[in-house]
Amino acid sequence: MSFVKLLKTPILLLLFCAVMLSCVKGVDLDQTEEIALTPDLQVSLLVFDVTSVDFIDKDTGEFTAIIRDTVRLEFLDDSYIQDDLSTVEFSFRYTNSFPQSFRNKISFLSENDRVQHFLQFDIAQGEKVNPVVTDWVEFIENERIDVIKRSIQMVVEIEVIPNENPFEGELKFESKGLFSFEF
């Protein structure tokens, strides 16, 4: 019986100590404030394929050197963009089989149509059997990211640079955005 008494108290104490004096060591829970999710999302934006037909005015039936279209990108107004977007890298690619070059203008407009960001580059002249690719990368760093946050419309304008060659071919446009967030 004395043996039992001898053991009983230490075992109970051991268990109580283990449970009651349990602790959390070697960790810095303040680091929770620094936890951030930083996804990089590749998102397809606009895509189109124009031919010479698209340069014919639908109302007059006459050739027009400039065509443009506007697309609202409503997601730019969403809270995850407004609050957490840190950088954007836009990539644009034209594949041109027209024997003409083009001037391309891309504008990002605010709700009241004010230009927030603008870029322009020339699309290289191509060949019918050998289309030429023109790539353009536009990086909007964190210091300038508000120009995208203020934008809601993307306007693409294409102007053909005429020459003596027949105006026949195809102009393909690809675009994407690499949106980097810090949630």
Partner 1 sequence: MRPYFSFAIILFGILISQAQNKQLLYNVNGLPQSLLNNPGANVNFDGHIGVPLFSKFHISTGSSGVNLFDIFDETNVDVNKKVSAAIRRLTRNDYFTLHQQLEILSFGWRLNNGQYLSAGVYQEMDMFAYFPKDPALLVNEGNNAYLNVPFDFSDVSFTGEIMTVYHLGINKRISNKLTVGARGKLYSGIFNVASTNNSGRFITRDDPNSPNFYRHYAENIDIRVNTSGYASLNNSGMTVQESTADLLKRSFFGGNIGAGIDLGATYNLADNLRITGSVLDIGIMFQQHDVENYLYYGDYETDGIEPLFPDVAPNDNTIPYWDLFEDEVDKNLKDETVNENYTTWRPVKFNAALEFGFEEMVEICDYRRTYKRRNYNLIGVHLFGVKRPRTMNYALTTYYDRKFSNNFRAKISYTVDDFSYYNIGLLVSTKIKKFNFYIAADNLAGYFNLAKSQSASLQLGMQFIFKKQ
Residues 75-134 that bind partner 1 (CB under 8 A): 91, 93
Q: Exposed, middle or buried, 34 (CB in 10 Å: 0-12/13-18/19+)?
A: exposed
Residue 139 beta carbon to partner 1: minimum distance, rounded to whole angstroms: 14
Phi/psi at 54 (5° precision): -70, -10
Q: CA angle 57-63-65, nearest 5°? A: 100
| Residue 145 binds to partner 1 (criterion: CB under 8 A) | no
How far apart CA 142 and CA 172 sit, in angstroms, is 30
Contacts of 49 (CB under 8 A, 6+ apart): 170, 171, 172, 173
Residue 72 contacts partner 1 per CB under 8 A:
yes
Minimum distance of partner 1 from residue 132's CB (angstroms) = 17
Nearest approach, Cβ of 75 to partner 1 (angstroms)? 8
62 vs 164, which CB is nearer to partner 1? 62
71 lines the binding site for partner 1 (CB under 8 A):
yes
Segment (H or E) for 147: helix 146-149
Handedness of CA 25, 29, 34, 40 (dihedral sign): positive
Give 26 or 164: the residue with its C-beta nearer to partner 1.
Answer: 26
**Which residues contact partner 1 by CB under 8 A?**
1, 3-4, 7-8, 11-12, 14-16, 18-19, 21-29, 31-32, 34-50, 54, 58, 67-74, 91, 93, 156, 172, 174-176, 178, 180-181
